[in-house]
Amino acid sequence: MRVEDLDTPAVVIDRRIAEANLRRAQKRADALGVRLRPHIKTHKLPLFAMRQVEFGAAGVTCQKIGEAEVMADAGISDIFITFNIVGRQKLERLLALHRRVTLSVVADSADTVEGYGGVFTDPSRPLTVLVECDTGGGRCGVQSPADALALARRIASHPGLRFGGLMTYPPRGKVAEVDAWLHDALALFRSEGMDVPRVSVGNSPDFYADQAFTAATELRPGTYIYSDRMQAAFGHGTLADCALTVLVTVVSRPTPDRVILDAGSKALAADLSPSPGHGYIVEYPEAVITTLNEEHAIADFSGCAARPAIGDKLKIIPNHVCVVSNLFDTVNLVEDGEVVEQLPVAARGRMG
């Protein structure tokens, strides 16, 4: 089937662009001398997780146990869940997962550590726990290297747990500050004779930045596989590196300049980008998607020389691609305009 024969809205992934993005990232990690551990939240597909590992990734990163379970089912053997896992039901699932794969998790509080310690009690197969550090991102994380050390000691005090190192989700564009925080922590741990096996640093926007995280032993970009309008606006590649588009149909042209597309926030998500509007229309770069309702995109074509006809199919590069992956049950892989594979988004909607 040709792409243009797909019913809309549909997610279309250019496999060659995606694979080129995967190879380039692995090269980048190799050049930096760090391990690549891609975040699967962007694609949520076993196929691409396996490709990432084939290309050299050390394993994958997941945010939810449900995502990790899907990846384990698909044969991924090394999974890092960068989330404080709290509550009896989740801890039991975590224990079951730990029996199947090489698993690591994070903690930023004594409560979380005690939760792990209460369930993981086998010294012959300890759970690896990294300390999540708030290096300026303002989300989770211990607030100082001293707090990181105290929590690492608490982890190490449990026979069924193993201190795995430090993890942070850094604020974008603050490489020097984040690096300084981590080096301070590493110096403190060293002065206390405590080994830090891994220093895992996240995010896509800084992955290709001129300045690298020198404290990191592992990087966890996610969005780079598809890229999106936000990444391009941040200067990370161009729109030509965007592998995922949403195919839509023009369903109405109520005025000369207003064009209505059959994809709203239920397909494109309402996330904003530094660029104007709710996505980039490939065929009409000057068009601006001014409003998204749930099932309609309202676009202003006043800046365009031509206008599409009702029934025309157009491709949209979304502002934020990860959230789009979570909205569709199926994606279409294409090569040269031909649909070569239709895949269920296996880790979509895994909430817990």
- Of the listed pieces 70-78, 151-159, 201-209, 252-260, which binds its own copies according to CB under 8 A? 252-260
- Of the listed pieces 188-196, 205-213, 229-237, 287-295, which binds its own copies according to CB under 8 A? 287-295
Q: Choose between 33 and 87: whose C-beta lies nearer to its own copies.
A: 87
Return d(Cα 7, Cα 213) in angstroms, integer.
44
Q: Choose between 9 and 318: whose C-beta lies nearer to its own copies.
A: 9
- Within residues 19-78, the interface with its own copies by CB under 8 A covers 41, 63-64
Return d(Cα 131, Cα 141) in angstroms, integer.
8
| Nearest distance from C-beta of residue 274 to its own copies, angstroms | 16
109 is a site residue for its own copies (CB under 8 A): yes
262 is a site residue for its own copies (CB under 8 A): yes
300 is a site residue for its own copies (CB under 8 A): no
Identified binder of its own copies from the candidate list 250, 304, 333, 334, rule CB under 8 A: 250
- Of the listed pieces 23-31, 139-147, 185-193, 230-238, which binds its own copies according to CB under 8 A? 139-147
* Residues found in the chain: 352
Identified binder of its own copies from the candidate list 117, 141, 170, 221, rule CB under 8 A: 141
- Within residues 182-241, the interface with its own copies by CB under 8 A covers none
| Nearest distance from C-beta of residue 233 to its own copies, angstroms | 18
Identified binder of its own copies from the candidate list 104, 241, 271, 279, rule CB under 8 A: 271
Return d(Cα 40, Cα 18) in angstroms, integer.
13
Return d(Cα 244, Cα 11) in angstroms, integer.
7
Identified binder of its own copies from the candidate list 1, 86, 187, 340, rule CB under 8 A: 86
Identified binder of its own copies from the candidate list 38, 46, 59, 115, rule CB under 8 A: 115
Identified binder of its own copies from the candidate list 162, 318, 328, 333, rule CB under 8 A: 328
- Of the listed pieces 6-14, 117-125, 192-200, 277-285, which binds its own copies according to CB under 8 A? 6-14
User: 53-56: long-range contacts (C-beta < 8 A, 24 or more apart)?
Assistant: 55/22, 55/23, 55/26, 56/26, 56/29, 56/30
- Of the listed pieces 45-53, 160-168, 259-267, 276-284, which binds its own copies according to CB under 8 A? 259-267
329 is a site residue for its own copies (CB under 8 A): yes
Binding site for its own copies (CB under 8 A): 7-10, 41, 63-64, 83-84, 86-87, 89-90, 108-109, 111-112, 115, 134, 138-143, 249-255, 258, 260, 262-263, 265-267, 269-271, 291, 293-296, 298, 309-311, 322-323, 326-329, 349, 351-352
